[in-house]
Amino acid sequence: MTPQARAQAAIDILDQVIASAREDGPPADGLVQAYFRTRRYAGSKDRRAVRELVFRAIRASAEMPAHGRQALLAVEDARPLFDGSPHAPTPPAEGEAGVSGDSVAVPGWLVPELSPLVGAEEWASLVERAPLDLRVNVAQATRGELADEFAEAVPTSLSPWGLRLPPDQRVSDHPAFADGRVEVQDEGSQLVALACLPAAGQRIVDLCAGAGGKALALSAATGNEAELIACDTSRDRLSRLGPRAERAGARISTLLLDGGREAEQLAPLAASADVVLVDAPCSGSGTWRRNPEGRWRLTPERLERLTALQRHVLELAVPLVRPGGALVYAVCSLLAREGEEQAAAFLSRHSAWQAQDDVMSAGRSAGPGRLLTPAHDGCDGFFVARFTAPC
């Protein structure tokens, strides 16, 4: 493919990314892969170059562009490729430009929603390419042993389990991944698992377990000697946990929840959990480095729904915690409404519960919890709070 044809391919994919953001469809990465599945003429260099263009265009516009062409026009050095040659995009019309906005990183309507700790000087880092972090399965191997198997790996500075590789590495065919000695997991997620203070013999409920990233970390931290119960309302996500647990040598039971009937299904676990982790559904604004089109997916209505859901899952967690046990609330979000304000509202509803301000040493104090940000902590953004139940 010529560079111009690659630009046209990027525009076609960006059209799909925009439509998918509107309809809450598949993520950009999946759309790039699907595009090339039916275009066998494209070689691996073409695929890499087009993918790179697509993601540079997504990173370059905080506001959602009207179409793929407008998205790509925001990438300054792609403009000369709009030259009208065969398979190329037609030249830009007079005044035709990429979408404009005050910031290329944060959509205008979200600026007042950001935690006050996330000043304008941090915004660019929210959409920079992120490194690839691995979590060593400490039930199977040490970080030092694994560091020797990954040539460019450096130990993460905040998590004792992490190894950091440059962006866009492929590890799924590495033997240490295949035999469950490492998992791909951002350092921020590792810190959330560490904030649970997991210990052998505990009963730990991961209430929003998804595909089990944090449940696996929790199990490994206890040498697979804790009782782990992973719950989620998504059958699809929860079903991906089984093969991962098998690879890691972890035993994790799963409980598929029906939205609306969760309290009834969880009743047998009442007052029995040493720790309940609520890694709640959220805007994902702390992970824009990896999913930059997440900025285009979020709307005020969606944010409203998410904060209501966070409150709902927090309330589901409360009866599960044993007296003196802990509830850890986490969101990969930098928005105050989902983080410190949600946690403060929890405490005002449950005045006998205590927030532990030593939940982690990383990050900065934000209301009753701590905030991790890419600029300050070098990992994905997370708000984390740890509450202890009255005895």
**Parallel, antiparallel, or unpaired: how do β-strands 132-136 and 162-165 relate?**
antiparallel
Residue 279 annotated as binding site: yes
Give 208 or 371: the residue with its C-beta nearer to ligand SAM: 208
The CA distances from residue 194 to 45, 242, 262, 329, 358, in Å, are 40, 22, 26, 13, 12
User: Exactly one of 64, 126, 209, 228 binds ligand SAM (CB under 6 A); which one?
Assistant: 209
Choose the binding region for ligand SAM from 61-69, 85-93, 225-233, 296-304 (rule: CB under 6 A): 225-233
**Contact with ligand SAM (CB under 6 A) among 213, 292, 367, 369:** 213
Kindly state whether residue 211 participates in binding ligand SAM, applying the rule CB under 6 A.
Answer: yes
The active-site residue out of 208, 332, 379, 391 is 332
Tell which residue, 106, 135, 129, 172, has the closest CA to residue 291. Answer: 129
Supply 1's token pair: 């493919």
Q: Determine, following the binding rule CB under 6 A, whether residue 372 of this chain makes contact with ligand SAM.
A: no
In order, the DSSP letters of 178-191 are HTTSEEE--HHHHH
Q: Is 232 annotated as a binding residue?
A: yes
> Counting contacts by CB under 6 A, is residue 237 touching ligand SAM?
yes
Query: Is-contact 325 274, C-beta < 8 A?
Result: yes
Residues 288, 289, 292, 296: what is their CA dihedral angle, to the nearest 10 degrees? 20
Q: What residue type is 387 in one-letter code?
A: F
Closest to ligand SAM by CB, 246 vs 357, is 246
User: Minimum distance from CB of 252 to ligand SAM (Å)?
Assistant: 12
What is the CA 196 to chain-centroid distance, rounded? 18
Distance between first and last Cα of the chain:
67
Strand partners, 240: none
Selected range binding ligand SAM among 56-64, 70-78, 230-238, 321-329, rule: CB under 6 A: 230-238
In angstroms, the CA 27 to CA 29 distance is 6
**Token representation of residue 102:** 């005050």
Residue (126 or 320) nearer to ligand SAM, CB: 320
- Interface residue with ligand SAM among 106, 114, 207, 372 (CB under 6 A) is 207
Q: Cβ distance 380 to 287 under 8 Å?
A: yes
- Using CB under 6 A, which residues numbered 238 to 267 contact ligand SAM? 257, 259, 262
- Name the minimum Å distance from CB 321 to ligand SAM: 16
Tell me which residues in 118-147 interact with ligand SAM (CB under 6 A): none
Restricting to residues 273-312, name those near ligand SAM by CB under 6 A: 279, 281, 309
Contacting ligand SAM within 166-205 (CB under 6 A): 189
> Shortest approach of ligand SAM to residue 312 CB, angstroms?
6
Tokens representing residue 347 in the block: 């405490």
Within its chain, how far is the Cα of 363 from the centroid?
Answer: 17
Q: Does 391 qualify as catalytic in the annotation? A: no
* Residues annotated within a binding site for S-adenosyl-L-methionine: 232, 258, 279
Active site residues: 332
List contacts with ligand SAM (CB under 6 A): 189, 207-211, 213-214, 231-234, 237, 257, 259, 262, 279, 281, 309, 313
